Amino acid sequence: MSENHPPVGDDSIAAAAARLREAAATGTPVPPVRDLIGRDDVKAAYAVQQRFTAERIAAGATVVGRKIGLTSAAVQQQLGVDQPDFGFLFDDMEYADGSVVPVDAVLQPRVEAEIAFVLGADLAEGPLDAAQVREAVDHAVAAIEICGSRVADWDISFGDTVADNASAGAYVLGTRRVPLTAFDPVTAEMTMTVDGETVSTGSGAACLGDPLDAVVWLARQARDLGEPLRTGQIVLSGALGPMRPVTPGAAVHATVTGLGTVSVTFSAREERR
C-alpha cells in the first residue's frame, strides 16, 4: 500500500465527510471520495470516519462496538491493501434475530455471515495478545452483517470504505451465546442462504486465519487511537465467506457450526425511515 503522497488537508477531509453525509441524508449514493482523500491514505480515511462517528454521537447515538472488514486475503488483494479496516457499531444498527429490516434502512445492502464476540472485560491495557483477548471474550454468537455503501455502485477503494465507516450498515446477532471454552472459532463452518439458496460458505480460518487474531488486531488499533474496546461491546470479526447483495423481500439465513443459526428478512418494498 503506497504512502508516497502529500498530507490530505482538512478542507478535503471535510468535503469528503460532507459528500457521504449527503448520501445518508438523501438516501442516494454519491461518487467515491478518493478524489478528495486518495485511494489508500489511511490517516485521511480514518479522519473522515472520525467526523462521521463524532456527528452520530452528537446526535444521540451510542457506540456499542466495532466491525472489522477486509479480513479476507482475496479482498485485500482486490483493493490493493495489506491490512484489515474497522468501523463503529451504533445502538440503532442492531436488529433482532428473525426480524424484518426495511430494505432501504441500509444503502445498497449486502449481507455476510460471521462470528461476533461480546467482551466481558476491557481491552485497554497489557499486551493485547491472543491469550488476553481470548480471556476477555464473554461469549461468541452467530451474526449477519448488513453491509452498505454510500458510494454509488460499491465503487470503493480502501480509502472510500474506511471513510464510509468501513461500509457498516446494520447487524443481526443470533440468540445462542457460547463461551470460547466450548467453541473453536477457527474450525467453525458457515453456510448462508438467501431465499433458500446457498450463496456463501466458508470457515473461521478464512478470517485472518483465526477470527480472534482479527480481534487482536482491532484491540491494538483501538487502543492506539485512544478509544480501546470496553466491557459489553460487540465485535463483528469479519466475513467467513463472500458477501452477497440482497433485494426487497429477501430472506437470509446463516448457520455457524457451534453457534447455531441467525436470520433476517428484508421488507418487500422501500420504507425509508
Residues written for the chain:
273
Alpha carbon of residue 184 to chain centroid: 21
Report, in angstroms and rounded to the nearest whole number, the Rg of the chain calculated over CA atoms. Answer: 18
CA distance 160 to 158: 6
CB distance 196 to 103 below 8 Å: no
pLDDT score, position 183: 97
pLDDT score, position 77: 76
pLDDT score, position 271: 55
CB distance 207 to 239 below 8 Å: yes
Q: How is residue 46 written as a grid cell?
A: 480514518
CA distance 160 to 110: 17
Task: Quote the pTM value.
Answer: 0.94
CB distance 232 to 122 below 8 Å: no
What is the identity of the amino acid at 246? V
CB distance 161 to 69 below 8 Å: yes
CB distance 139 to 13 below 8 Å: no
pLDDT score, position 75: 75
What is the identity of the amino acid at 257? T
Q: How is residue 244 written as a grid cell?
A: 452477497
CA distance 216 to 272: 37
Point out the residues of the chain with pLDDT beneath 70.
1-5, 78, 270-273
pLDDT score, position 273: 47
